[in-house]
Amino acid sequence: MYRFLRPLLFLLDAEQSHNLTLFALRCITLFPGGRGLLRALFANRTPSLTVELMGLQFPNPVGLAAGLDKNARYQNALSDLGFGFLELGTVTPLPQTGNPLKRLFRLSENNAIINRMGFNSIGAEAFVYNLRKQGRPGIIGINIGKNKDTTNEQAIEDYLKTFTAVYTYADYIAINISSPNTPGLRDLQDQQRLDKLLGQLKHEQVALGKTRRVYVPIAIKISPDLDDDHITTIAQLALTHRLDAIIATNTTISRPDLEGHPYAREQGGLSGRPLKDLSTAVIKKLYGELQGRVAIIGLGGVENAEDAWEKLVAGADLIQVYTALIYQGPRLVRDIVSGLTRRVETSGCATLAETVAKARSGIHLMR
Ligand SMILES: Cc1cc2nc3c(=O)[nH]c(=O)nc-3n(C[C@H](O)[C@H](O)[C@H](O)COP(=O)(O)O)c2cc1C
């Protein structure tokens, strides 16, 4: 179906067609039987793919990446597409409109997107209102950021405010310090700043855990443009602060494989196929440092079960998708889930975790 709709949607401006598709998806769920129909079409039941991580049980390892549902408007419809979890946001403390249009570019020949959305967000209060209205259809991560006008010196206040506001409604909270579209945000990945930020968030997590009687895991989302030393530093900080997960990676400001493309010089973050190897290399390096002591959520250019498998073997415990969903539509999730299920079945293992462990140790032995 999406195969036939895509050429029409791609005639529209990229951001308009994003919004229209999500709106149409939500309309389907408002019809009686609509949600059941979506689930029947897209959601596979796959006990062998269940992942136990961060004290949560993920029905499968394929998540929706942050940025598609920035304002918590579509989580019921999206969960019917068979995702194992959804990451909503990025949400900022106060509402902001983001960068001026046009700020989203499709690079169809490369199965890629360049975006400079700049955290368009309805703000934490309205976001929480939406969350409460829609309920929690499955595992929900909430990705938080800072307002554009907030300086990096005051950024911790922004993160703490939103962290506290969404705490009760999240299964995990992702700290976005890697979007290239908010000036200076990526500097929060620097050792001293990150140390301070994580220290305060961890302190808040403990305090909220006591008063609200629930432990909500913390993840940080990092950039693919870090060098090896920087990745090592971040891994060490994650261990020191007992972080629950690292999400690797956000979009890149580099332009691999885009020579001569008319959009290559557009400012913003590049996602999709050209990001794939860059993000896998970050995951590999991170896993080498962490050895399973902190969970890794891997993403960047995952277009099929093979790509998902590559990220898992590199060290990811879960994966996420965004850009390929725009190009392939909702069957992407079902196809990745089926492909991974087949891998488990043919490996002779009972679970995905065992299958991945076997593959990782095979690679290790071959070195
Ligand atoms: C249009 C667009 C908007 C995005 N917005 C966000 C965002 O608000 N917060 C965030 O952490 N990542 C955001 N991302 C990055 C994605 O979550 C993801 O890290 C990146 O696109 C790599 O995955 P992919 O290659 O599967 O798209 C956005 C990506 C795109 C394409």
Is residue 339 in a domain? yes
Please, what is the average pLDDT of the chain? 95
**Number of domain units in the chain:** 1
| Band of pLDDT at residue 7, cut at 50, 70 and 90 | confident
d(CA 126, CA 104): 24
What is the share, in percent, of the chain residues with pLDDT greater than 90? Answer: 92
The confidence band for 367, taking pLDDT boundaries of 50, 70 and 90, is very low
Q: Which residues are catalytic?
A: 179
C-alpha 124/C-alpha 130 separation (Å) is 10
325 located within any domain: yes
In a domain, 367, yes or no: no
**Structural domain includes residue 366:** no
For ligand 1, pick from 116, 271, 327 the residue to mutate: most ligand atoms within 8 Å of CB: 271
CA separation for the pair 26, 128 (Å, rounded) = 19
Tell me if 284 is assigned to some domain: yes
Mutating to test ligand 1, I would choose from 69, 176, 250, 266 the residue with most ligand atoms within 8 A of its C-beta, which is 250
Contacts of 116 (CB under 8 A, 6+ apart): 99, 103, 104, 180, 181, 266, 267, 268, 269
Give the three-state DSSP class for 271: strand
Q: Which domain CATH number covers 167? A: 3.20.20.70
Do the domain assignments include residue 250? yes
pTM, two decimals, is 0.97
Q: Domain range for residue 302?
A: 2-361
226-275 pLDDT, tens per residue?
999 999 999 999 999 999 999 999 999 999 999 999 999 999 999 999 99
pLDDT tens profile 133-161: 988 999 999 999 999 999 999 999 999 99
Question: Is 134 within the bounds of a domain?
Answer: yes
Task: Give the residues surrounding ligand 1 with Cβ less than 6 Å away.
Answer: 65-67, 70, 90, 104, 113, 115, 117, 143, 176, 179, 221, 250-251, 271-272, 275, 299-302, 321-324
Residue 327 lies in a domain: yes
How large is the C-alpha radius of gyration of the chain?
19
